Amino acid sequence: MAAQNQNDKKTTSSEEVFSKNTPSSMNTSPIDLGQIEVLQILNEHGEVDKGLEPDLSNEVLLDTYRAMVLGRAFDSRMMTMQRQGRMGTFAPNFGQEACIIGQVTSLTKNDWFAPSYRSFGAQIMRGWPLEHLMRLWAGFHDGFPPPKNVNDLPFSIVIGSHVLPAVGIGMGMNYKKKKDCVVVNYGDGASSQGAVSEALNFAAVYKAPVVFICENNGWAISTPTKKQRANQTFAAHGIAHGIPCIRVDGNDILAMMCATKEATDRARNGDGPTLIEAITYRMSLHTTADDPTVYRDEDEVKVWEARCPIKRFETFLTNKGLLDDDAIKETLESCEEEVIAARDKFYAMDPADPTEIFDHLYESVPKELQAQREEYLRRLREKGIDL
């Protein structure tokens, strides 16, 4: 059963949407893709399928556009700060803005979001201040807990480790008879983790209100999709576990919003989990410690430049009369100003207190750890650090 099954919606085959110009790292699957529905509403030229176009207000469309631009502005500034030595290792999201933003637009404040480490655009939409996220990426422990009244898990660094806890939250919602849901994302590489399969099975068996979003961005660091699995259609995990599934053009913000909306509605109605495979592409580095030119062909990247999620949405909004060149420029400038303001707030925050690193593990510090703490502090004083 596919997630998109409304009578007034038509679909195209996987081959029509994804096979044309698909780079070798994302070869199509040998299985029968006819079993799995595919959704694309806004193509790479900004042309919309009128039969599938969602009824969204102009305000929602423009707010969504700004969220995508703000995510990219944050991304760019964080890369600059890292290269200046003023930020820790960072995982950019360039080219995946639609995939990330589209997964949370249907969530309420009572719903939960369990992000992986490339989800800062969605976290911003969920209420994380930009300077809070900067604090997080800079390695401050107080950056990881979500802001007050934001039902998010801290993002996961250990690959796939957050998917099982997300299912646990969903099972808890059923236990408490709450009509809420959980959205959890993970990458194509994380799909090879046993915990992800366990999470899918638990969610299916207990009909947990969880929306799984597999962000298939072509590369698990340097491992291409074609080497990740014999079956490159990650949505097929849904078939294997008895979970409704769908493949979505992850660079199409409208398709991501519609697929996630239907999946979250299903979850809240007690119909259990859904698996969405979002086909997107990591245009930039895996992290700032990575050099993708070592393992992938730049011609592959150029193919996906034409599929930029922001550019195609800009074209769509311009054709609707909601954007023009001045509005695009104004949006970009206001987003950059917002990011700069957050950067300045971050720079003005107190530096880390090195004495705190022993304070959050034990209620009563063991003698051997206390001895290590004293030795650590002694060495800091020898280096002239004022404690």
Calpha distance 46→185 (Å, rounded): 26
Catalytic entry in 206, 229, 295, 373: 295
Q: Identify the CA nearest to 37 among candidates 83, 61, 2.
A: 2
206 counts as catalytic: no
By 3-state DSSP, what share of the chain in percent is helix, strand and coil, each rounded to 5? 45, 10, 40
The beta-carbon contacts of 332-341 under 8 Å, at least 24 apart in sequence, are 332/69, 332/73, 334/66, 335/66, 335/69, 335/70, 335/72, 335/73, 336/73, 336/77, 338/70, 338/73, 338/130, 339/70, 339/73, 339/74, 339/77, 339/130, 340/77
Calpha distance 67→194 (Å, rounded): 33
Catalytic entry in 118, 162, 266, 286: 286
379 counts as catalytic: no
Catalytic entry in 162, 247, 282, 307: 282
SS3 category, 71: helix
Calpha distance 272→1 (Å, rounded): 12
282 counts as catalytic: yes
What positions carry a catalytic annotation?
Answer: 282, 286, 295
